[in-house]
Amino acid sequence: MDITADELEKLPYNINCKDFLTEYPTLQKIPEFQNLKEVKNFNSMFRYIVLLYTPNTPLLQISNYDERRQYAIDYSRINKDDLENSSSFTIGYLRFCKNDKWTTLSVYRESKFNLFRRLHGDETRSGERTGAILENIDKLDTRIASLLSDITNDDKRLESKVFESIEEERLQDLRPESRVARILEGKPALAYDIYQKKGRGRPKKNV
């Protein structure tokens, strides 16, 4: 299937741009897009990433993921080495484009792990059944899978990278200096305060 020029124009960036960081300086705010002195073919990599991972990219008309990916490779003319080294830039772009969904995915994963901890430690609340916890875990698994598929546009290769990045963010968010910085900025101490307690040390009700 061929994608028309009009359809490609619906992408958030001019896909035929020669220097994306110069044409779109806001991209320089993405941490992964800084310090690129040793990256020779960033524009080809970014073109590939935009084509394949932009929300509602016209390439989604190609139902088969491998064919969709090959189209992006051919159009961007990305070479094999750059393709293998593009994952960190892809993660930066995914976070940048789908911030709300990225945050929601982070919260769902943390909620799931909290439920696992309660189940393992036999920390059920009064009247709460173990089966109810398991049912909530199953519901979170379904929501996590749906969000992950949406965020990565069905790229199974990226799923583990997304989870690794979310875990790195969580650990960074828990560092004392990070929490102090957020407070000084007038923000909550944590980006998503899943550890907030209620009453006599009992955890707040999970989703």
Same domain, 79 and 167: no
Give the pLDDT of residue 197: 38
- Residue 51: what pLDDT? 96
Our measurement of the distance from residue 97's CA atom to the centroid of its chain's CA atoms, rounded to an integer in Å, reads: 9
Q: Which residues pair with 202 in a beta bridge?
A: 198
- State pLDDT tens for residues 52-103: 999 889 999 999 999 999 999 999 999 999 998 899 999 999 988 877 888 8
Q: Please, what sign has the CA dihedral across residues 173, 179, 182, 188?
A: positive
CB-based burial of residue 66 (10 Å sphere; 0-12 exposed, 13-18 middle, 19+ buried)?
exposed
pLDDT string in tens for the chain (207-residue length): 689 999 999 999 999 999 999 999 999 999 999 888 888 899 999 999 999 999 889 999 999 999 999 999 999 999 999 998 899 999 999 988 877 888 888 888 888 888 888 777 665 554 557 788 888 899 999 999 999 998 899 898 888 888 888 888 767 655 555 545 545 556 555 554 433 433 333 334 444
Q: Give the SS3 label for residue 192.
A: coil
The per-residue pLDDT for 123 is: 56
How many structural domains is the chain composed of? 2
In a shared domain, residues 141 and 183: yes
| Domain of 32, in residue numbers | 5-92
Q: What is the pTM of this model?
A: 0.70
Q: Based on the fold, state whether residues 11 and 79 are members of the same structural domain.
A: yes
Q: What is the predicted pLDDT for the residue at 193?
A: 45
Residue 180: predicted pLDDT: 53
- Residues 157 and 187 both lie in one domain: yes
- Structure letter (DSSP) for residue 202: E
Residues 84 and 148 reside in one and the same domain: no
CA distance 21 to 27: 6
Residue at a domain's end among 49, 65, 92: 92
Find out whether 112 and 189 touch, Cβ atoms under 8 Å.
no
pLDDT for residue 25: 94
Same domain, 111 and 185: yes
The pLDDT, as a whole number, for residue 128 is 59
Last residue of a domain, one of 92, 109, 125: 92
What values do phi and psi take at 202, rounded to 5? -85, 140
